[in-house]
Structure 1
Amino acid sequence: MAEKTINPLLKSGLEYGPIVAFFAAYILLKDRVFTFGGTEYEGFIAVTAGFVPLMILSTLALWRLTGHLSKMQVVTLVLVVVFGGLSVWLNDPRFFKMKPTLIYLFFAGALGFGLLRGHSYLESLMDAHLPLSKEGWLVLTRRLVVFFLGLAVLNEFIWRTQSEEAWVYFKTFGLTAAVFLFFMSQGSVFRKYGVSKEDDEG
């Protein structure tokens, strides 16, 4: 099914709205404790309990409006539901904090597997249509594998050694900025291996 075009602001809101909502709710509720069924839950767990269904609803809305979800969106949603659910069910925030690590390890592993076969899965994985030659895709994929592994290690370091609030800031802003800066720094790859649309089709 071809992807339907929707308002870019609406699309961005559905993709990033839950993350912004998670951050705002955490800032408001981080010092509160909630009692449910005789069990006390800290603010982080309560916010996670709200984030999981919000993420499900926003992803379903995005699929309904566009008729399409990327592999990255599907994998991310599954890991949010599984590890967010475990954190709430077991009343243990560590599972949710490990989620970014597993996401980056999964994509590094998938891309690395493709490289071992001499292929780049990057374009289909990210639903990208960048005008790169085959060699360019391989170069970019190798760099992204290393980058994802680095983010996985960094996330483990942050949540295990820093405060919970520091990790929330890192997850909300640091990881997003890191991915943005990575692609901004790859200008030399796009210049060296870039091809025109006509050449790519030919």
Structure 2
Amino acid sequence: MSNREISQGLKTALELGPVLAFFVAYLILKDRSFDIGGTAYDGFIVVTAGFVPVMVASTGLLWWLTGHLSRMQVVTVVLIVVFGGLSVWLNDERFFKMKPTLIYLIFGGVLAVGLLRGQSYLRYVMEGLVPLQDEGWMILTKRVTAFFFALALANEVVWRSMSTETWVYFKTFGLTAALFAFFMAQGGLFRRYGTGEE
């Protein structure tokens, strides 16, 4: 299936819509408990059970419309299915809270392997978005690798030491804001090592 372009608004809605839906549903159901098949499930688990198929459907629709998914998107949806499924099956929210940690450790680990081989794997993912000279790619990859490991540590600290509600806010807004701020802070590197292409 060949790659096809879709509007940025639709692409963003498909990528962020399920996360925002999870957040809103959690706020509505967080204090409720549901008896299903004789087992009590709190609101977080019920919302997680709804989030997993919604995320799979959204990712599948994105693939159907564009004919393409990045490796990061594939890994993310697989981990959501595995750890979301474990949380629901075992009625234990800890598995779903671990998911961001593993995602960031995997991405950071893959980039670190590339660096040890003298390569920027980040370049393969982002080259079409950010044209940089070779040295710029290596510097950016080192920074992103360290940033992913820092995010993994931050997620561990938050979910292990704070309330579920705090973690949901952190996951929905904190991590997104951190990613945005990180790449905004790389403006100097983009200017210095940019190739001059659009």
TM-score range, shorter chain: over 0.9
| Structure 1 residues 55-134: aligned runs within 5 Å | 55-126=55-126, 128-134=128-134
Counterpart CA distance in 2 for 1:86 and 1:71 is 22
Read off the aligned partner of 2:130 and give its amino acid letter.
L
Deviation at 1:9, TM superposition (A): 1.4
Partner of 1:23: 23
Deviation at 1:7, TM superposition (A): 1.9
Deviation at 1:83, TM superposition (A): 0.2
Counterpart CA distance in 2 for 1:197 and 1:34 is 55
* Residues 70 and 126, structure 1, Cα contact 8 Å, conserved in 2: no
* Residues 70 and 127, structure 1, Cα contact 8 Å, conserved in 2: no
* Residues 72 and 126, structure 1, Cα contact 8 Å, conserved in 2: no
Read off the aligned partner of 1:197 and give its amino acid letter.
E
**CA 1:127–1:32: 2 relative to 1, 3 Å:** farther
Partner of 1:141: 141
Deviation at 1:127, TM superposition (A): 6.6
* Residues 71 and 126, structure 1, Cα contact 8 Å, conserved in 2: no
Q: Deviations over 1:70-124 (max 9, x none)?
A: 1110000000000000000000000000000000000000000000000000022
Partner of 1:173: 173
SS of equivalent residue, structure 2 residue 41: strand
Counterpart CA distance in 2 for 1:86 and 1:155 is 19
Identity %: 64
Deviation at 1:131, TM superposition (A): 1.2
The number of residues matched between the two structures is: 198
Read off the aligned partner of 2:187 and give its amino acid letter.
G
Read off the aligned partner of 1:8 and give its amino acid letter.
Q
TM-score (structure 2 length as normaliser): 0.97
Q: Deviations over 1:118-139 (max 9, x none)?
A: 0000022357431101110000
Counterpart CA distance in 2 for 1:165 and 1:120 is 37
Counterpart CA distance in 1 for 2:131 and 2:6 is 24
Partner of 1:150: 150
Read off the aligned partner of 1:19 and give its amino acid letter.
V
TM-score (structure 1 length as normaliser): 0.95
**CA 1:126–1:42: 2 relative to 1, 3 Å:** farther
Partner of 1:44: 44
Of residues 145-154 and 2-11 in structure 1, the stretch that sits farther from structure 2 once superposed is 2-11
Q: Deviations over 1:119-160 (max 9, x none)?
A: 000022357431101110000000011111100000000000
* Residues 84 and 95, structure 1, Cα contact 8 Å, conserved in 2: yes
Counterpart CA distance in 1 for 2:95 and 2:52 is 13
* Residues 22 and 48, structure 1, Cα contact 8 Å, conserved in 2: yes
